[in-house]
Amino acid sequence: MEYKQATTAQGTLLGEVREDVAIFRGVPYAQPPVGALRWRGPQPALPWKGVRPALTFPACPVQTTPPVPEHPMARHFMSEDCLYLNVWAPADADPAHPCPVLVWFYGGALQAGTSDDPITDGEAYAKMGVILVTVNYRVGFFGFFVHPDMKGEDPNGWAGNFGYRDQAAALAWIQENIAAFGGDPNRVTVSGQSAGSGSCCALMVAPSAKGLFHGAICHSGDIFQPERDTPLADAEAWGVELAEAFGCKRLDELRSIPFPAFYREGDPMRRIGRVCATVIDGGFLPGPLGERMLSGEAMRIPVIIGTNFDEGSRWAAEPYIRAVTERLGLPDGLYAMDKGLDGYATELARDYWYARHLAWAKIRSGDFGLPTWQYVFSRRLTEAGAFHGMEMPYTFQTLDAEPWYGRRLPYGEADYALSRLMSRYWANFVKTGNPNGEGLPEWTAKAPGVGHMRFDAESSMREDVTRPADAVVGPATERWMRTRMTPKA
């Protein structure tokens, strides 16, 4: 085995070289958030002496074990000591000509995920001259729990959102250290899928993350669902209720409980029927995320925005239909009832998901004049269609990897060609802030009258209305989002 060293501000790392790619696994970017550091903001990584091996992936963050034993996550070792990242870089990276950097945040509804998903292996990007960094961040109970004691402990008066704060800490570490791997700290693009994409959006509106990255690629995830923003007072009340369920009154008492004890009955928050996720704490996140984005308070950076043709994410059918229909003022009977309420809700969720991303692309390009490229991934190989997350192995050139969603799909040569196409667009965007390049079909930036790039066996620009219902749901969603725009004084 061939090795390579990289010297960071904390010390020297030993990585592996494989097929001209230098791989550094399990690199600490913060101190382990254990003991007294549980439920505190990430603290700077400590230095070490000698050469530290960076040859194995870290433990994944503590999370509820997937119910399916065959799921890859069920085989992972979990630990609170999880704040590590992984780096794939060209082995011959020249410091005089540093490489651009793509930072990946996994999805999982802010409740699950790991930085060593084989789908997000960075070898293909490194061979295209892009350094890929995948980041572990705290999720669920350990990543987003809130208790009233937190604000008094935190030097900034912040509470919760530890997962987002981990991501910002990783980006700060990259700014300080990526040059050691041949990377350019002035060309950093963040990306993620689902909650990872939503994380990119949250960081775009978080004041403390300003300047830590310069572009974003957002796969199927946004911050325009206000029901997912938890007010601080509510989160604190839930924290008190949960602490009492474990016989505790103070946060320090909760810190003394070993983490397996919290998970004996599944996710701890299920005891009180709540979920730990985004908290509008008035500090790290000063206000509702969607409003901040729509009011021009986000970073003014180039962005790729996209969804899949057959997305679908909803809660119980009847309440979901009622909530979205009333919010948007949609007419009754927009979809046929031949598939029942569940089928109706699934179709509505699919179109509402697409409509939010479409409206965001129109507003940021038209109202704010920001470079924006929109896509729809439409490759359909099974009855599930182009489902949530299906595009990921295409963008990483990892179609042969073991997927989190079960067995590999029946890929053919057209799929490998599509994978090469999409990953080249992504690499170009990371390098230049524009996905276009020699030999690629022209992907026109969003503008009035300009549609989106449709990725399929044959990829090309298409009109924005993909289904008849889009002609109703799309304009209604844009009107609703515009009511949330409050220009800065």
Q: Which two tokens stand for residue 402?
A: 């073991």
pLDDT-based confidence at residue 400 (cuts at 50, 70, 90): very high
**What's the pLDDT score for residue 409?**
94
Kindly give, in sequence order, each residue whose CB lies less than 8 Å from that of residue 398, ignoring residues fewer than 6 positions away: 118, 119, 120, 121, 124, 392
For 325-377, the pLDDT digits (tens) are: 999 999 988 998 888 888 999 999 999 999 999 999 999 999 999 999 999 99
487 vs 252: which has the higher pLDDT? 252
Residue type, 454: R
For residues 433 and 371, the answer to whether their CB atoms sit within 8 Å is yes
Catalytic residue list contains 194: yes
pLDDT-based confidence at residue 264 (cuts at 50, 70, 90): confident
For residues 79 and 59, the answer to whether their CB atoms sit within 8 Å is yes
pLDDT-based confidence at residue 95 (cuts at 50, 70, 90): confident
For the chain, the domains span: 1-236+277-301, 310-489
For 54-86, the pLDDT digits (tens) are: 999 999 999 986 544 555 555 568 899 999 999
Q: Please pick, among 311, 419, 423, 452, the residue that the annotation labels catalytic.
A: 311
Three-point CA angle 320, 326, 332, nearest 5°? 85
For 209-254, the pLDDT digits (tens) are: 999 999 999 999 999 999 899 999 999 999 999 999 999 999 999 9
Kindly give, in sequence order, each residue whose CB lies less than 8 Å from that of residue 314, ignoring residues fewer than 6 positions away: 320, 345, 346, 348, 349
User: What is the average pLDDT across 481-488?
Assistant: 82
pTM: 0.95
Terminal-to-terminal C-alpha distance of the chain: 59
For 38-52, the pLDDT digits (tens) are: 999 999 999 999 999
Q: Please pick, among 214, 388, 419, 423, the residue that the annotation labels catalytic.
A: 388
* Percent over 90 (pLDDT), the chain: 85
Kindly give, in sequence order, each residue whose CB lies less than 8 Å from that of residue 289, ignoring residues fewer than 6 positions away: 201, 202, 205, 223, 229, 278, 280
User: What is the average pLDDT across 414-429?
Assistant: 98
- Whether residue 321 is predicted with pLDDT greater than 80 in this model: the reply is yes
Question: Per CATH, is 1-236+277-301 categorized as 3.40.50.12780?
Answer: no
Catalytic residue list contains 459: no
Average pLDDT, the chain: 93
Q: Please pick, among 16, 76, 80, 194, the residue that the annotation labels catalytic.
A: 194
For residues 312 and 350, the answer to whether their CB atoms sit within 8 Å is yes
For residues 285 and 279, the answer to whether their CB atoms sit within 8 Å is yes
User: What is the average pLDDT across 284-297?
Assistant: 94
For 378-391, the pLDDT digits (tens) are: 999 999 899 999 99
**What's the pLDDT score for residue 135?**
98
